[in-house]
Structure 1
Amino acid sequence: MKKILKLAMCLLTVVGLSACGGASTEKQEAVVKSFFDYLKAGDIEKLSTVCTEDNGDVDDLVSMMASFEELQDVATYGQTFVDEANKFIDSAFQNYVTSYEINSVEEDGDNYLVIVDVKMKDYDNIDLSSETNDIVEKYQTEHLSELQEIYLSQGEQAMMEKIFGDMATEIFGAMTKEMEGAKDIDTQLRFTLVPNEDNWLISKIEQKSE
């Protein structure tokens, strides 16, 4: 009996030491993981829910998504163009971050710093305009007479829908291929998380200086 009691006391001591070894960082890590999940899904609305309202580091993402939304106007571009645009947008976000791994989680006063090693596509150094310009010029040359006829008989809107519908697959296909072929870069992101009631929000995202 004494041996059993001694074993029980040892186990309780180990559990106690483990509990005192440091606060759990599961909540902070979960917030950062949600950030990457929402980014991959291109869901900027949900991504904003894990960031503070004054987090200016996500402004570029919000602006980019807003510009994409302009391409989703069926009345202006037609359904074919919008469908192809949506495929392109989904691909751009899904492939942006190739992989990531949480490197460390550190207390910083009342806040936490989550350091993440990231492999991501270098979208800043790709040229989407040259090939798409060639596609547009070729199309205009080959279909000029047809487009003029549509314009005269059906009006400008019908002509534009014809252009957008015909070129959408080729243009967005070329852009998707270019973005998928973008160089992978290794970098490190530092997320600052601040307490928000019983949860945490990202207040700042900093990229390691090259």
Structure 2
Amino acid sequence: MMVIVSAKRALQPQARAAEEYILKQLSNIQIPATLIFNKMDLVKDERNLLEPVVNRYLAGYKHFTRTLYVSALFNDGLMTVKDTLCSKALPAPWLYPPTQTSEMAPLKRVEDIIRVEFFKRLNYYLPYSLKQENAVWMENEKDGSLMITQNIYVERDSQQKIIIGAKGRIITAVIHEARQKIANALKKPKVQLFIKIKTRKRQ
């Protein structure tokens, strides 16, 4: 069993209620578990503040055998998570055919690829505040190509300039890299990708 905690949220005062709820649910279980703190990229300068949180989890559930600190966004520590899972896995028939590389829906994979490319370039300026909306998804049956238009919403007009970058460098690089990765992930001969940056209207 693995228990995954958002490192950034775990440091917020209101997270104590969620923490207590999780430990209460775990009190009915007595199996070895791995405690994982994800999104460590958001607390790199506050890592020492996590120690009390870690200690509370370890004290609240005595069956944690390992604690891992990872950043899924930057692929930091994920191999250790994979190795931990593999070491605990029991022999069994495969659930999916060998040709299937993911159970994630194609649209979700596309959104994740685009999101990662933005975060790689924004350097925490807009962490986790981007909202995505798929506007166009059109597959050409003749040549197998795919055309995608994504709307990216930010919270303020001033953030649009950050997302686009000087002379459009950031958004151009994102489109270029994401287009290639989408084509590889979905096995498409050609992908046309258009990204529009918009400001989210406040309700």
The structure with the larger Rg is: 1
Greater helix proportion: 1
**Which TM-score band applies after superposition, normalised by the shorter structure?**
under 0.3
